[in-house]
Chain A
């Protein structure tokens, strides 16, 4: 009976090389650590529709089968707030956010994406020859904005290079992201970075034009062969381990957690 059971929703696919994959990888990592006999998880991906996620979360919460229900995506906050009130005996975790709504059964988690962003930015600033760096972002919120802001600060700390930032207002529009990257290149950029699952396009552009690429959220080293320099990787397993330990100790939540370079939740992977 001592199996720890987790259920999680995430907005995009488990292999998006970005946000959803980072959580999926973390759960797999925890399972490796704890063993399949002690840890099992259900994962519903592609729930970019908040109401679909709400149905799943409610069902899991109501079933009483799960020790922890994770809503991976800051759009799920309202749903978590409501369910946590309705099912006080179930433990919830959600992010990226700090808000636990003052409830004892909610954990919130966040990533200090600006930290890795700063480091990436500093490397980029030192690396650029043309003195122009391009950033392709989704919408100007959340860890995307944190990362970009950190990145810009990092560049500024080491160089006079210009950083051009474009938010394309979408997490998933690959063609537009691609063309945004092309536009950066046409305007002289020789280093690119970006965040969200549409960065696969900009990565391809970097490869094709011999530019360097900095990534975040998950490792894109394989895709960015040759162009990739460094990737900030989210290790949600660091905070998950903590949350799980607390739950096993009888503490259902009430805290917020943050991935940082310091606690090992953020890792900079340097491409080989």
Chain B
């Protein structure tokens, strides 16, 4: 077997697509965790976002009341709102009510998993596809050999996801809001004493995390797969949480982790397609193994939020 057959341009393009939902969700989770909130419910929120976005587009398109781009925009908005609401609920439960985050997150996950499927069954029935975000063809760029296929033939949400990476890094490291987030996640007492509202910051990040998780879901249901089915995300939200740890809470490294994981996944599919004789089980296992191995050898610069999972209450 030839290496050229394995490392094709399409594998790289495939990795970029696969990484998209992880990047959205993991960036959102990075915000939440940086402020001290571990949201294990990401997968459930993704599902709700995926369904919300899908359903909005489905309705708009079947009713034909809207121009295509508007319908898609509506889908994105609905996903953001649904995700934001789920994030708000998570924030209320874990910040205001100080519930243990490990459990409340699992509760949110179950709720999202169940409700998205229920609504889908009641309102839609069987899987139906929508016309999702089309692949964009850029003049000239798309036609560049190899590079064009890898980078310049994706749908809009893919680009949004990757654009969010430096933006998130900027917000976290270079803005007053980001400073508050980092302080609140490290030493909420100190932030509080400096007049930063721990509650408000954590609400904000958890809601942002929810919105991005919702968008992650929508990137599947109205951009990459263009339909909804029960448990559409197949546990991607949990992998996204893991990737936050992989990246040591730094957006760039988190995205790098998402890319590595997705790349190995794309690679294993390619290797199977071209007929390599390795057991499927090991092929499917590969991204997980390599992600761990990579972290073993990576130099770990971490920005561990020490107050992670710890509800804040003044010492009264």
Contacts and interface: CB of A to CB of B under 8 A. Distances in A.
A and B touch in the complex (CB under 8 A): yes
Given A176-B234, A179-B265, A208-B226, A140 B126 contact: no
B236 to A, nearest CB: 7
B311 interface: no
A21 B231 CA distance: 16
Contacts of A128: none
B269 A180 contact: yes
Contact of B274 (A139, A164, A201): A164
A187 B274 contact: yes
Interface stretch (A165-173, A243-251, A258-266): A165-173
Contacts of A187: 10, 270, 273-274
Interface string B64-86: 00000000000000000000000
Chain B interface residue bracket vs A: 35 or more
B226 A186 contact: no
A178 B284 CA distance: 14
A182 interface: yes
Contact of B281 (A21, A169, A197): A169
A127 interface: no
B286 to A, nearest CB: 11
A182 B262 CA distance: 14
A204 B220 CA distance: 12
Best-surrounded residue of B11, B127, B128, B226 (most CB of chain A within 10 A): B127
A102 to B, nearest CB: 33
A184 B14 CA distance: 11
Contacts of B233: 175
A112 interface: no
B42 interface: no
B273 A166 contact: yes
A188 B230 CA distance: 30
A183 interface: yes
B108 interface: no
B227 A170 contact: no
B266 interface: yes
Contacts of B127: 17, 200, 223
B232 interface: yes
B125 interface: yes
Nearest to B114: A46
A208 B229 CA distance: 18
A130 interface: no
Interface string A203-234: 11001100000000000001100000000000
Interface string A180-194: 101110110000000
Contacts of B10: 182-183, 186-187
Contacts of B266: 179, 183
B37 interface: no
A169 B230 CA distance: 18
B129 interface: yes
B104 to A, nearest CB: 23
B18 interface: yes
Contacts of B125: 15
B273 A184 contact: yes
A271 interface: no
Contact of B129 (A173, A180, A186, A223): A223
A183 B231 contact: no
Contact of A174 (B121, B234, B280): B234
Best-surrounded residue of B224, B229, B284 (most CB of chain A within 10 A): B229
Nearest to B235: A173
Interface string B211-249: 000000000100011110111111010000000000000
A103 B129 CA distance: 45
A257 B18 CA distance: 42
Contact of B229 (A134, A186, A197): A197
A164 B225 contact: no
B126 A223 contact: yes
B34 interface: no
A165 B266 CA distance: 15
A169 B284 contact: yes
B175 interface: no
A164 B275 contact: yes
A13 interface: yes
B117 interface: yes
Nearest to A223: B127
Given A200-B127, A207-B129, A223-B127, A167 B280 contact: yes
Interface in B71-105: none
A265 to B, nearest CB: 22
B173 interface: no
Best-surrounded residue of B10, B230, B281 (most CB of chain A within 10 A): B230
A145 B43 CA distance: 30
14 contacts: A13-B230, A164-B273, A166-B272, A169-B284, A170-B284, A179-B17, A179-B265, A179-B266, A183-B269, A184-B273, A187-B10, A200-B225, A201-B227, A204-B227
Interface of B: 8, 10-11, 13-14, 17-18, 21, 117, 121, 125-129, 220, 224-227, 229-234, 236, 265-266, 269-270, 272-275, 280-281, 284
Given A13-B230, A178-B224, 5 more contacts: A16-B229, A174-B229, A176-B265, A180-B272, A183-B273
Interface of A: 12-13, 15-17, 21, 134, 139-140, 164-170, 172-176, 178-180, 182-184, 186-187, 197-198, 200-201, 203-204, 207-208, 222-223
